[in-house]
Amino acid sequence: MTGDSAIEATHRGLARVWIDFESALSQVPVIARLLSGRLRPEDYRRLLLNLRQQVVEGSRWIIRAASNLGPAHEELRSLFVLHAAAEHRDYRMLEDNYVAAGGVREDILSARKNIGSEALSAFMYQAASKADPVGLLGAMFIIEGLGNRLARSWGEAVRAQLSLGEEAVSFLLYHGENDGDHLDMFDRALALAVRGPAESEDIVRHARIVARLYRLQLEELDNV
């Protein structure tokens, strides 16, 4: 398999993981409610409160992964660092949204991770701690994909169903806005990382694991 065909195989593998992930998400109770127009204000607050505990870790595991990318992956390391820097305070927007949607700031700051977030976070730090963790691009594909492909339509649906203002849904809306840039950057990272079938399989496998754990996190809202 040549480098180019390995990159294409990675795109195919990731696309298939994504398709399964996206369609399985529609069966998760809170998302099913959202998609059928039955979301309640307390559902949205629970979603934000649970998401925040994982989002707060995001840039930290990316930085750990960057520190484990050796000399052979210098360029990729710089992309990881840039990405982490760009997003490392995103969780604050999420906290503000929670308060604007009627929540108490102290609650979202002090909540524990649900058991799905624990599993997701533990896997991320474990994977990021390995040498040259290029497989984590698969994890980023899933988490970024949620922002790029789903967050905006979710945000709009939340706003419409709960009659909330921009200040209560900006985290979801904002993530949907940068999709073009992020996808280009992801394509560049993939081209840097994939040199043959080994990296390709590793990336797709990480995506599969993270897709399942992310869904677990949404299934286990408030189960701490």
Q: Give contact residues for another protein (rule: CB under 8 A).
A: 4-5, 7-9, 11-13, 15-16, 18-20, 22-24, 26-27, 35-38
Q: How far apart are CA 93 and CA 222, in angstroms?
A: 20
Is the CB of 8 or the CB of 75 nearer to another protein?
8
CB of 38 to another protein, least distance (A): 6
CB of 66 to another protein, least distance (A): 26
Is the CB of 28 or the CB of 143 nearer to another protein?
28
Is the CB of 58 or the CB of 145 nearer to another protein?
145
Give me the torsion for CA of 159, 29, 48, 209, rounded to 10°: -120
Which two structure tokens, joined as six digits, stand for 176?
């949907």
Residue 163 CB neighbour total at 10 angstroms: 9
Is the CB of 24 or the CB of 85 nearer to another protein?
24
CB of 116 to another protein, least distance (A): 20
Which two structure tokens, joined as six digits, stand for 70?
């050796």
Q: How far apart are CA 120 and CA 180, in angstroms?
A: 26
Which two structure tokens, joined as six digits, stand for 118?
């624990």
CB of 173 to another protein, least distance (A): 19
Judging by beta carbons within 10 Å of its beta carbon (0-12, 13-18, 19+), is residue 22 exposed, middle or buried? middle
Is the CB of 88 or the CB of 205 nearer to another protein?
205
CB of 123 to another protein, least distance (A): 24
Helices and strands of the chain, counted as H and E runs: 13, 0
